[in-house]
Amino acid sequence: MPRGAKPRVAILREQGVNGQREMAAAFRRAGFSAVDVHMSELLNGSATLESFQGAVACGGFSYGDVLGAGSGWARSILYNARTFDQFSAFFARSDSFALGVCNGCQMLSQLKDLIPGAAAWPRFLRNRSEQFEARLVMAEVLDSKSLFFDGLTGMMAPLVVSHGEGRVDALADGSRLCLRYVDYRGEAASRYPENPNGSPDGSAGFTTDDGRVTILMPHPERVYLRKQYSWLPASAAGAEGPWFEMFRNARLWLA
């Protein structure tokens, strides 16, 4: 890519999604041209994914979550020939990447048949607490091929959760776990509230075999700046928070 060029990333949203502004801001700060793309534009053909290097499915409550865990959003892709073909072609490209957060995580998990290397991804079910969970939790980056977490293995930092259906149903061989909730000892969180939804082994994020597509239940885009935290250790210098490295890594991957 030419020096100084800003690769285009599609900030995808659907009716009810509300996390697109923070997501776009984080990617712009990392050197991307972040473009707002509503699903209606992909459905009617006024926009396509062909000119984008990245696609990000944002968090929120698509279709008011009345269809549950991003299912309505996923179905608008799976059961429409135009969007089915577009997303299939996008995921098949070796020069593309994708990120799904919260509702977008739930949605992409239901597209796993279209995503190379995602066959073992889990489903996301209602929280064990039977209530919406919204707060800061501690999370740890695990060793994986995720392009977003390159060089970050072992990092622990607070992350925002904001979901009612974030519980992983089960971990399968090859599920490619890349992020987990941890307790105050730095161990996999097995109990509430350190584990906000009851996922086994504190499961919070997954990636593909090649690391090009990653899905996360927590919201890194809501804490990508230092000032978005009430406190960080003095060692965390600079304007950006620790999770900003995810977005920087995506830009470096395209360099």
Residues with catalytic roles: 102, 219, 221
The two three-digit tokens of residue 227, written as one number: 């000032």
Cα–Cα distance, 185 to 178 (Å, whole number)? 19
DSSP state of 224: -
Q: Identify any residues that bridge with 182 across adjacent strands, giving them in sequence order.
A: 188
Cα–Cα distance, 66 to 248 (Å, whole number)? 35
Cα–Cα distance, 158 to 136 (Å, whole number)? 6
The two three-digit tokens of residue 101, written as one number: 């957060």
DSSP state of 31: T
Cα–Cα distances (Å) from 33 to 108, 109, 119, 147, in that order, read 22, 26, 31, 19
